[in-house]
Amino acid sequence: MHRPSFDFFDQPPLYPNEAFKAQQGLGMTSQRTRDRLIRRLIDLGITDETVLQAMRVVPRHAFLDEAMGSRAYEDTALPIGYGQTISQPIVVATMTQWLLADREQHPMQRVLEIGTGSGYQTAVLALLVKQLFSVERIAPLLFKAQAALQKLDLHNIEFNLNDGHWGWSSRAPFDGIISAAAPDKLPEELLGQLKEGGRLVMPIGQQEQLLYGYIKTSTGVKETCLGEVLFVPMKQGVEV
């Protein structure tokens, strides 16, 4: 993909609905502030304009406590409570871009997200895939994320309170799986829930983590390392 031209920013944001438009902020949450973040993502190698457009209109500040709102469009992870964080925007963009890289040959109709968290990554994905299934193990976080997502009038997301280790077998198979939690090793159960040609992107490891992309083929699994990352560990069980 080619680097987007700066004409990209001459066009007004393509809001998917009026609810998104109503959530746009002022000052440190304004479109100008958000566009500075998008320019940084481009400088760091994000070239998929559909991903950039989605991240341009999703109001990241709406998924943070008000006290953190002024930092919403910094390219950094931020706390959301319960020992969890909202992912760094470049990581969200990198994972999403990789997940969608082959969508002309293998459309992302059904995608599983492991770790709803704040709901920010969920909102970005919901604009880019047909049906999203999102799993979260911490009940208060899930309910808070659902409330934030409802304000954006998104209707293609189904939620499940679960720990994600076993995916979501009753909704499988999936065209793609994306995880915001790091297991020690690749869970075979998740690969089993992917369609042939499907993509899985997730961090692996505990003390030192690497982000991996996996493509399921008729002859096995193709693996790509996408760099160093830092995510919360994938834990078992739910917290209510």
Residues taking part in catalysis? 87
What whole-number distance in Å separates Cα of residue 101 and Cα of residue 98? 5
Kindly give the residue spans of alpha helices, DSSP state H, lying in 8-108: 18-22, 31-43, 49-57, 89-99
- Residue 75: which of 50, 38, 27 has the closest Cα? 38
What whole-number distance in Å separates Cα of residue 94 and Cα of residue 37? 14
- Residue 1: which of 46, 55, 52 has the closest Cα? 46
125, amino acid identity: L
What whole-number distance in Å separates Cα of residue 190 and Cα of residue 131? 18
Would you tell me the crossing angle of helices 89-99 and 49-57 to the nearest 10 degrees? 140
